Amino acid sequence: MLLYILDIFGTAIFAISGVLLAGKLRMDPFGVVVLAMVTAIGGGTIRDMALGATPVFWVNAPEYLWVILVTCILSLLIIRHPRRLPWYFLPVADAIGLAVFVAIGVDKALSYGASPLVAVIMGVITGCGGGIIRDVLAREVPMVLRTEVYATACIAGGVVHTLALAANADVEVASISGMITTLSIRLAAIRWHLSLPTFAIGK
């Protein structure tokens, strides 16, 4: 039940992230819905296809689609001037959704018998996949490909999650530990502008 509630919460948060970016780019309502949809369920869709979990989760659970649609409608009604929101609102909302989705991806991969390494990778895909699609559609360089600490936070959270399970921790405790790790690292990166060294080839 806790994981399901967090899943719905993460879906709404990622949808808001897509709506806010669409608002900044002055997209029409259809563009808002598309960006919200791919952000919220894109990563989970890629994960399920990779794990062979057919049909993908939202086909048999259309409530995820309703959550996204309702989130879009409420966001369009409430957030009338997205450019006036604090600069940190979008990245913080994205960080919360990221932490939740990584934990969900790790748990689902393990439930399908995947190894801890594959589970961590599935967690990263679940957390970053939707954001990558969102940024590509918005003609931006995906955040995961920039120097910002983003995918690294997902990896750290996934590792803590799987290590906690290996230490016989309760499933909920392991999930929360992983989420806290991912969220803490991501928020620290936002607050102090932490980044990884860049790779460049000199002329």
Domain positions in the chain:
2-192
DSSP state of 85: S
Cis peptide before 82 (omega within 30 of 0): no
Local confidence pLDDT in tens for the 203 residues of the chain: 777 887 888 899 899 889 988 988 889 999 999 999 999 999 999 999 999 998 999 999 999 999 999 999 998 888 765 556 687 877 887 888 899 899 999 999 999 999 999 999 999 999 999 989 999 998 888 878 776 799 999 999 999 999 999 999 999 899 999 999 999 999 999 999 888 887 777 65
Q: HSE (CB half, 13 Å, CA atoms) of 39?
A: 38
* φ/ψ (deg, to 5) at 195: -150, 160
DSSP letters spanning 107-134 = HHHHHTT--HHHHHHHHHHHHHHHHHHH
Q: Are 93 and 36 in contact (CB under 8 A)?
A: no
